[in-house]
Structure 1
Amino acid sequence: MTTTDRITLYYAPQSRATGARVLLEELGAPYDLQVLNMKAGEQRKPAYLAINPLGKVPAVHHRGALVTEQVAIFIYLADLFPQAGLTPALDDARRGPYLRWIAYYGSSFEPALIDRFMKREPAPVTQSPYADFDTMLGALESQLARGPYLFGGQITAADILWGIALNWTMMFGLVPRTDVFVRYAERIAARPAFQRISAADDEIAAAHAAAAGV
């Protein structure tokens, strides 16, 4: 890749953007960080809202194009570096299920999680994007129970997405700590890329807290 091909990741530590940065590390991708101090509200200031009007991270800028939405970012980055082996090829039988489980994160898991976090009564099952919380989570657990990864023995970008998500949501008590979820999340958290970014996040978060006088 040339200098102009470097990826810019708009980032905040200990947020959903962590997964995107771990994925970049797993892919061996050349990237630059644009760190936002969320404690100072930088994600809601005009400079960043001009990039992403929703004020969310992660966002990726590459080759003059902006990619937002976590699932889109994972698909885009993994496809950009097929040599890393984290994305099934278009003619791979796993390609459809791979896309299914990445999309499932954004379309079913996240809405269910937010409803639970906010203690909101979910919509009736016929109108809910995720049926009901237990059904949504049970489908995921059944898939992961086949192990060690979503599609057997070979890790994909989808596993980075889900492993980090489960690690965080179990930590905050939003997802039950079943044996299947715990073993899976621990497997992803033990990877060197996750360990490196977790330590780097701690340093950035501490610096932001110090700047805020916390």
Structure 2
Amino acid sequence: MTLTFYTNPMSRGRIARWMLEEVGAPYETVVLDYASSMKGAAYLAVNPMGKVPAIVHDGRVVTEGAAICAYLAEAFPEAGLAPTADERADYYRWLFYAAGPVEAAVTNRSLGVVPTDDQQRMVGYGSFDTMLDTLEAAVSAHPFIAGDRFTAADVYVGSQVMWGQMFGSMPKRDAFLAYGARLAEREAYTRAAAIDDALIAKPA
């Protein structure tokens, strides 16, 4: 088994790093820089988008943070991060909600894009406030996004929520802060953050 992880410590690669640490399987890290190697021919052969993260598991490429979380949960079932039958509906619903409406709404808002009332019918998230209210209700319903236990969906949804609180792209609502605090207690989260923070601090 070979597992290679392509990332930059100041990117969404931190989501995949957290998931890899939760899984506990050995992996090789390839750190790319935005100016050259991320757009170089070697990496474009892995991900033609020239974006991170990406993983290559036994020759198979997976990109996109949510897909990487779901894939690793299934590829390493012993970690217990894939959903049970009872968790499956909420697991997939909120995993893809975070990757779709949440990501789009936060990105558009950061770019100063505010859909008009008519345009809200076209965009998947409707309005930023509707997206937030829906997300708040989701993280308030149970201790974790799919129920009473932590799953791979929490890695992705939780990253969106925690970054939103950290960088001010989401308002600091009590439900978001409480959810993020629960996730920050994960040993794998702390371990992954330490690895990426050390890479950031490392002299070029």
The AA in structure 2 aligned to 1:31 is Y
Match of 2:47 in 1: 52
Give the distance between the partners of 1:27 and 1:53, measured in 2 at CA: 26
TM-score by length of 1: 0.89
Aligned residue runs from structure 1 range 1-214, under 5 A: 5-38=1-34, 40-89=35-84, 92-122=85-115, 124-207=119-202, 210-211=203-204
Root-mean-square deviation (CA, aligned residues, Å) is 1.5
1:43-90 Cα distance to aligned partner (Å, 9 max, x none): 12222222211111110101211111111111111011122111114x
Secondary structure class of the residue paired with 1:119: coil
Structure 2 unaligned spans of 5+: none
Q: Is the 8 A contact 1:163 1:189 kept in 2?
A: no
Secondary structure class of the residue paired with 1:34: strand
Give the distance between the partners of 2:104 and 2:15, measured in 1 at CA: 18
Structure 1 unaligned spans of 5+: none
Give the distance between the partners of 1:16 and 1:100, measured in 2 at CA: 21
Q: Is the 8 A contact 1:22 1:197 kept in 2?
A: yes
> Which segments of structure 1 move beyond 3 Å, counting only runs of 4 or more?
none
The AA in structure 1 aligned to 2:160 is A
1:87-141 Cα distance to aligned partner (Å, 9 max, x none): 114xx03212211111111221111111011111236111011111111111111
Alpha-carbon deviation of 1:194? Answer: 1.2
Q: May I ask how many residue pairs the two structures share in their alignment? A: 202
